Amino acid sequence: MGEAIGQMLPAAVGVAISPFPIVAVVLMLATPRARTNGPAFLAGWLAGLALLGAILLTVSNHLDPTSSSGPATWVTVVKLLAGLALVYLAFRQWQGRPRGGAAPEEPRWMASVDGFTPVKTASTGAVLSTVNPKNFLLALAGVEAIAGAGISVGEEAIAWLVFILIGSLGVIAPLAVYFALGARSQQILEDLKGWMIQNSAVIMTVLLFVIGVKLVGDAISGFST
């Protein structure tokens, strides 16, 4: 199980430091319903990752992810395709970065978070943790690292729980700051939001490229064994 956790760790860290979920939870914490919407966002985020992992691991295990010599060929193929997709997204992210000091454009829904109910907030957290293409590919990479390790179903569940905990640190940290510092946290969180928005393109470009290249390299090594 230790090998599985080590292999999926980069993908989990990638999920944790994705800018938009961090910005989203900070925005939730600046609304009048912060004390309910902040935890609701986290609950939706955790539920989304748990459901996504359960589905992907179930499909992987049904297809038999291991062979006598290591991960099955289809796992290596998925790893290669996921790696190439992440490299492509990194390229697109870099191409779409703001130029000439222009402010990055925020998604439209972020302007309406003041009116979000806890249910809508939880739904937003679930969507950002699952349907978002970058998060989905990173989660897929994590699942294939776990499934290809040839461990038991129980150990897979524990490894995915570790993935969820690590992948949720970016959302948990602003909540911890808010509840620990109260009103004093507002400036800290505002500065964090501004920095993440301003540097989101660079963060995601580097993140997606590094993880994508690693997956491609792992796939090439898998094909050569």
Per-residue pLDDT of 9-48, as tens digits, reads 888 998 998 888 888 898 888 888 889 999 999 999 999 9
As to burial, measured by CB atoms within 10 angstroms (0-12 exposed, 13-18 middle, 19+ buried), residue 103 is exposed
Per-residue confidence at 70, pLDDT binned at 50, 70, 90? low
Q: What residues does each domain of the chain span?
A: 2-224
Looking at residue 160, its pLDDT comes to 94
φ/ψ of residue 71, rounded to 5: -60, 145
Looking at residue 20, its pLDDT comes to 84
Residue 167 has pLDDT above 90, yes or no: yes
Structure tokens at 80: 């290669």
Nearest 10 degrees: Cα torsion 130, 136, 141, 146:
20
Q: Label each residue of 142-206 as H, E or C.
A: HHHHHHCCCCCHHHHHHHHHHHHHHHCHHHHHHHHHHHHHHHHHHHHHHHHHHHHHHHHHHHHHH
Per-residue pLDDT of 99-153, as tens digits, reads 665 656 666 767 778 788 899 999 999 998 988 888 888 898 888 888 877 788 8
Which is more confident, 199 or 130? Answer: 130
Residue 185 has pLDDT above 90, yes or no: no
Structure tokens at 135: 């998060």
Structure tokens at 16: 């944790």
Looking at residue 66, its pLDDT comes to 63
Residue 208 CA: distances (Å) to CA of 91, 127, 175, 220: 9, 19, 25, 18
Say which amino acid occupies 71: P
Structure tokens at 5: 């956790």
Looking at residue 54, its pLDDT comes to 92
Section 73-79 average pLDDT: 79
